Structure 1
């Protein structure tokens, strides 16, 4: 059996910006902790970076011991040993916040999902985030069993 040749990979310079995928969602390497989430936020185009930064701040203020990771080019937030309760993803015209147990929140977030329990909040450029309600959802979601991903 012939040996497979390995292809040289181009080293990514620290100054190289992440590739933006469809909708402007940045391609960020999978990783746990705050650093990959901050890299994701910094790589978002335009107004989306500012909104994602504020979402991250609100989540951390509400749940100081929140766990963070980037998986599948999206930030996830969860509780240690309990799984993930929230994810963020960037689309062309909005940011989607997924509450994985959203059907159990009061009030239920407005956008339905194909998944029975998941509910979404879509944030468009012209929208004003109801921070009080968002923080309430985050606190409620953090107390529910999370998703194992």
Structure 2
């Protein structure tokens, strides 16, 4: 229908966009577009870096978070919006060099948090993404 626009996604607790589970670039771009304030620009940058660093990367939105993998259903990274930061999860992060700074209750998972105004070390992030994409992914 001409003139009809899709309703904006609902923002859940902490401002995380509610996007239905689906596969491909389109739902990931919808999630990123719905990220509030400064987080949307950071989300676009993260997505561009990941896409550039891992040609042919697979994408999905699951549990209201974008996921990235080298094969369908097997993921190496995801990110999630919280009120004060974006949490990037490396599912085999304990095997990365250097290990991302934030520990998880899961022994293999490591996190990297991005707060408003943080300067993203793009060289380090690209290195982590490339390393993570070469490790066995997490089936989810």
Counterpart-to-counterpart distance in 2, 1:31 and 1:108: 30
Runs of 4+ residues over 2 Å off in structure 1? none
CA contact (8 A) 1:82 1:145 kept: no
Where do residues 1-149 of structure 1 align in structure 2 (5 Å cutoff)?
14-80=5-71, 83-149=74-140
TM-score relative to the length of structure 2: 0.95
| TM-score in terms of structure 1 length | 0.89
Cα distance change of structure 1 residues 104 and 82 upon mapping to structure 2, 3 Å threshold: farther
| 5+ residue gaps, structure 1 | 1-12
Whole-angstrom distance in 1 between the partners of 2:71 and 2:47: 17
Question: Where do 5+ consecutive residues of structure 2 fail to align?
Answer: none
Shift of 1:81: 5.5
CA distance in 1, matches of 2:9, 2:139: 27
Query: How many corresponding residue pairs?
Result: 137
